[in-house]
Amino acid sequence: MNYGKKSTARKRNALISRSSMMGQRAHVSLIRLLFMGLITLCVVVTCVGIGSVRGVIANAPDVENVDIMPLGYATFLYDDEGNQIRKLAAPDANRLPVSIDQIPLDLQHAVVAIEDERFYEHNGIDVRGILRAAVKGLTSGGHFSEGASTITQQLLKNNVFTNWTNESTQIERITRKLQEQYLAVQIEEKIGDKNVILENYLNTINLGAGAYGVQAASRQYFNKDVWDLNLSECATLAGITQAPTKYNPISNPKENAKRRKEVLQHMLDQEYIDQAQYDEALNDDVYSRIQAAQAEQTQTDSNIYSYFEDALNQQIINDLMNIKGYTKTQAQNMLYSGGLKVMTTQSPSIQKILDEEYADPSNYPDYVQYALDYALTVKTPAGEQVNYSKEMMKLYFQNEDPSFDLLFDSQEEGQTYVDRYKADILSDGSQVVAERVNFAPQPQSSMTVIDQHTGYVKAMIGGRGEKTASLTMNRATDSTRQPGSTFKIVSTYAPALNELGMSLATTFEDEPYNYPSGQPVKNASGSYSGTTTIRTAIRNSINVVAVKCLEQVTPELGLQYLDNFGFSTLAHGTEADTDANGNVYTDANLPMALGGLTYGITNIDLCAAYATIANSGNYIKPVYYTKILDHNGNVLIENTSAEKSVIKESTAFLLTSAMEDVVQQGTGTACQLDNMAVAGKTGTTDQYNDLWFAGFTPYYTCVVWSGYDDNQKIPDDARNFHKNLWRKVMSRIHEGLEYRDFQQPSSVEKISICSETGLLPRTGCPVIEEYFDVGTVPTEYCDQHFYEIPDEETEGELVLDPDLTQTPDDPNNPGTPEEPVIPDNPDNTGGDGTGGDGTGGDGTGGDNTGGDNTGGDGTGGDGTGGDYTGGDNTGGEGTDDIVYY
């Protein structure tokens, strides 16, 4: 190195030279510029970052509007005794809420230990956990797999940020995470109670197997309540939530066992348990108990709703829409995931009786057929989905055999046709997407039982045979069938007695008669009875009298009464009743008297209508539940169905009295009960497609229907089993109940009348006692029967006693003889006194009332009454026209 004087001077001059000074200044300025730019960039980035974070936070939900309570609680149904009969739950809503006090401390500690060990210390976010996860992510090459979410954040993710599963970008995920962290701090500050947060979390978490929340999981895996779990079981549940499928203790017990050990280790490390507890829990054979619980649940639980539950659920959805204003989707969500408690009207004892009797093969005809219900969806080689129905299958085989139907003598026979049909469809390489095969035994039946005093539906059966799915055809509520002569009571005689001043003693001529179209009205017997009272017409189900009566009532008025009786499937001649050709249907016509309807009626509607008569004339819409509580126990809907007066109490009693005759001596004798008074009416359509009995006691109303699903004619030997079912069911229902008669109201009085004319009797009339509304008591006297006494001045000719205007026992009529004087005159009074060769000889009514028609050759004669009442027509040629009885 040259450190001489000259060398040093040169260096000093170089440093202070102008050019050197400018170069150095430029270098320093560049460094300063870069440094300032870096600072500026950092400031900008920081500002942008802060602004972005503030923007993300600003868009977070308002903490005041945030609800951390879990969504999707199971709904429970209870019978009329308070017993749980069903749990309704959507796939992600199987929650059974419990309070923190009901959850074992071991389970609380197990979840905290494995999910958020500093839960009781942090303010909503775990800074140490976040740093630990960040360091691990950076040191593992950017794989940020370790979570740092607290229980509070997870609760917010599940109950507030419910769309997190749809996040598609990292920005969306980071945005949600920032909002979670912000709200977690806010929520913890607002609530100020860790137990509230933990309670909601434990009621929220997915624990696999369709169980959400610890109570549902406890019931699912151990078949017991959460508060009964031991330490080992608590650790088993706590380990599931990280990966519900992987750690499912039913399907993956080995994986769950590893996780359970990890949970117990965390609990030991964090001093929630000691070594002895750890060892005991680890050695507990919890998985054997889990498998045993599954076997037990398989035996007792059924996912298929009953017919009653199907109808109940539909009414709840309708009421949530109509009363609470929900949309259909909202109503369904509320029912299946709203945590409701529904108090139903179902009686477990009555429903059990129906279930047992309908399951008893001896209650049905020996010859059983099976109706096929079939549906098939396939994917063609071209990728198109095609649906095939049972109707298409029927047409397919009718090309071979025009008489082919979907009724088979055995299920095996039906399955061979299914296999042939499916094989032909799949022959082009199509693949099955979905298939439904169901065989229903035939003839079918349905039954409904209602407590007429409340309108409560106590029990229901929608068909015989095994119910294979929920929401299948319910023949009690969904299937519309022709009601036959059960309709005479509600469409015709109810308005006649209630509004037109008629009585049970009002008479009509039962004689050959035609509809306005010219079609004859036929009685089921094929014969006619002459002058007939309404009581007799009801008892013997006489068609001509019903049609003539409705003609006076008018079909329009009859239809109004049917509406008031609650029938919901009638045709009123509106646009809804118009076919593709523009033809308008209406049930306001005379065949309505005999149950000839456009669409038919349902069992439940007919039961409600007859319950109206049993309830003194007051209609109550069928009620399936009394109250709905929300998941907080508040009343959501109070189901108080108001009564509506349809007919007078007196009218209801008169109809009841006449229908007692139906059961005691008419067409319904097979439905008599040994232990209770019964009133009812039979119904049969002309070709025996539908058979009904609608009846009631002072306690309950019950309607039974039988028929083929495809509307075929019921065989001769299968036309009474429905009555036997009704009798068996109602006999068992009334076991132990106090015997009661139907109570006569004060608006009804009972007087003596002529049984044939319905008028006040004269001497010689066949006298019976009849009930009348006090406003319809007859004031006229019979003009067809009288005592005929010999007049000495006319040498034995018979004349009317001019003083004979009252019944023989009237003390105010001294001219009335105590005993009838009946001369031996077969041409006029009946031959040998009783009726000659018959019940009327040629006398009592000549050729019309007694002659060949009513008595003819005798009570036995050629038939039951000459050429008309039995004779050549009882059985005769049969009838091709509509006949109901």
146 has a pLDDT exceeding 80: no
Domain C-terminal end among 380, 413, 442: 442
pLDDT band, very low/low/confident/very high, at 791 (cuts 50, 70, 90): low
Domain C-terminal end among 423, 442, 461: 442
Model pLDDT, residue 190: 86
pLDDT band, very low/low/confident/very high, at 392 (cuts 50, 70, 90): very high
pLDDT band, very low/low/confident/very high, at 810 (cuts 50, 70, 90): very low
Quick one: DSSP state of residue 692? E
Chain centroid offset of residue 882 CA:
33
Task: State whether 109 and 196 are in the same domain.
Answer: yes
At 726-739, the pLDDT tens digits run 999 999 999 999 99
Task: State whether 729 and 591 are in the same domain.
Answer: yes
| Overall average pLDDT of the 851-862 stretch | 35
- Of 586, 591, 598, nearest to 560 (Cα)? 586
- Sign of the four-CA dihedral 188, 190, 196, 199: negative
Model pLDDT, residue 56: 52
Task: State whether 34 and 125 are in the same domain.
Answer: no
| Overall average pLDDT of the 351-377 stretch | 96
577 located within any domain: yes
Model pLDDT, residue 824: 39
**Which range among 22-36, 183-197, 823-837 has the greatest average pLDDT?**
183-197
pLDDT band, very low/low/confident/very high, at 14 (cuts 50, 70, 90): low
Model pLDDT, residue 35: 61
At 582-592, the pLDDT tens digits run 889 999 999 99
Instruction: Rounding to the nearest 10 degrees, give the CA dihedral for residues 487, 493, 499, 505.
Output: 180
Angle, helices 286-300 vs 214-222, to 10°: value is 90
- Of 477, 451, 546, nearest to 508 (Cα)? 546
- Of 445, 260, 261, 336, nearest to 91 (Cα)? 336
Model pLDDT, residue 809: 43
740 located within any domain: no
Least confident segment among 39-48, 542-551, 651-660 = 39-48
Tokens of 329: 């989707």
Is there a contact between 387 and 375 (Cβ–Cβ < 8 Å)?
A: yes
- For the chain, the average pLDDT equals 83
Tokens of 126: 């775990």
Is there a contact between 824 and 831 (Cβ–Cβ < 8 Å)?
A: no
Domain containing residue 386: 367-442
pLDDT band, very low/low/confident/very high, at 22 (cuts 50, 70, 90): low
524 located within any domain: yes
509 has a pLDDT exceeding 90: yes
423 located within any domain: yes
82 located within any domain: no
Q: How far apart are the C-alpha atoms of 308 and 367, rounded to whole Å?
A: 28
Model pLDDT, residue 421: 97
Q: How far apart are the C-alpha atoms of 291 and 302, rounded to whole Å?
A: 18
Chain centroid offset of residue 704 CA:
17
Give all strands (DSSP E) within 308-394, no chain letters. Answer: 341-344, 369-379, 385-389
855 located within any domain: no
Q: Where are the alpha helices (DSSP H) in 342-429?
A: 348-359, 390-398, 411-426
**Which range among 90-94, 422-426, 868-872 has the greatest average pLDDT?**
422-426
Task: State whether 427 and 493 are in the same domain.
Answer: no
Task: State whether 518 and 635 are in the same domain.
Answer: yes
Q: Where are the alpha helices (DSSP H) in 689-759?
A: 721-733
647 has a pLDDT exceeding 90: yes
Q: How far apart are the C-alpha atoms of 247 and 219, rounded to whole Å?
A: 17
Q: How far apart are the C-alpha atoms of 371 and 710, rounded to whole Å?
A: 8
Give residue for tokens 């000259």.
6
pLDDT band, very low/low/confident/very high, at 278 (cuts 50, 70, 90): very high
Task: State whether 506 and 646 are in the same domain.
Answer: yes
Is there a contact between 694 and 491 (Cβ–Cβ < 8 Å)?
A: no
- What CATH number should be reported for the domain holding residue 191? 1.10.3810.10
Model pLDDT, residue 185: 86
| Overall average pLDDT of the 455-479 stretch | 94
Task: State whether 138 and 33 are in the same domain.
Answer: no
Is there a contact between 587 and 576 (Cβ–Cβ < 8 Å)?
A: no
Task: State whether 148 and 233 are in the same domain.
Answer: yes
Task: State whether 28 and 108 are in the same domain.
Answer: no
The DSSP string of 467-508 is: --STT---TTTT--B--TTHHHIIIIIHHHHHHS---TT-EE
Non-local (6+) Cβ contacts of 519 within 8 A are: 881, 882
739 located within any domain: no
Task: State whether 437 and 546 are in the same domain.
Answer: no
Is there a contact between 624 and 351 (Cβ–Cβ < 8 Å)?
A: no
**Which range among 346-360, 635-649, 773-787 has the greatest average pLDDT?**
346-360
Is there a contact between 309 and 336 (Cβ–Cβ < 8 Å)?
A: no
| Overall average pLDDT of the 38-55 stretch | 53
Task: State whether 266 and 149 are in the same domain.
Answer: yes
799 has a pLDDT exceeding 50: no
For the chain, the maximum distance between any two Cα atoms, rounded to a whole number of angstroms, is 194
Model pLDDT, residue 686: 84
Model pLDDT, residue 828: 35
- Of 757, 764, 810, 815, nearest to 787 (Cα)? 764
527 located within any domain: yes
Q: How far apart are the C-alpha atoms of 253 and 260, rounded to whole Å?
A: 10
How many CB atoms lie under 10 A from the CB of residue 866? Answer: 27
pLDDT band, very low/low/confident/very high, at 394 (cuts 50, 70, 90): very high
Model pLDDT, residue 851: 35
872 has a pLDDT exceeding 90: no
- What CATH number should be reported for the domain holding residue 614? 3.40.710.10
811 has a pLDDT exceeding 70: no
Q: How far apart are the C-alpha atoms of 815 and 811, rounded to whole Å?
A: 10
Least confident segment among 74-88, 139-153, 198-212, 618-632 = 139-153
Domain C-terminal end among 255, 271, 300: 300
Backbone angles phi, psi at 389, to 5 degrees: -115, 170
800 has a pLDDT exceeding 60: no
CA distance to 62, 123, 158, 202, 209, per residue, from 246 (Å): 36, 31, 20, 19, 11
Q: How far apart are the C-alpha atoms of 672 and 694, rounded to whole Å?
A: 13
Work out how many domains the chain is built from and give that number.
Answer: 4
Residue type, 319: D
How many CB atoms lie under 10 A from the CB of residue 721? Answer: 20
Is there a contact between 464 and 363 (Cβ–Cβ < 8 Å)?
A: no
Model pLDDT, residue 822: 34
- Of 845, 846, 847, 844, nearest to 867 (Cα)? 847
Give residue for tokens 């008025």.
557
> Within 13 Å and on the Cβ side, how many CA atoms surround 696?
28
Model pLDDT, residue 808: 42
At 690-709, the pLDDT tens digits run 999 999 999 999 999 999 99
Task: State whether 39 and 109 are in the same domain.
Answer: no
| Overall average pLDDT of the 283-308 stretch | 84
pLDDT band, very low/low/confident/very high, at 864 (cuts 50, 70, 90): very low
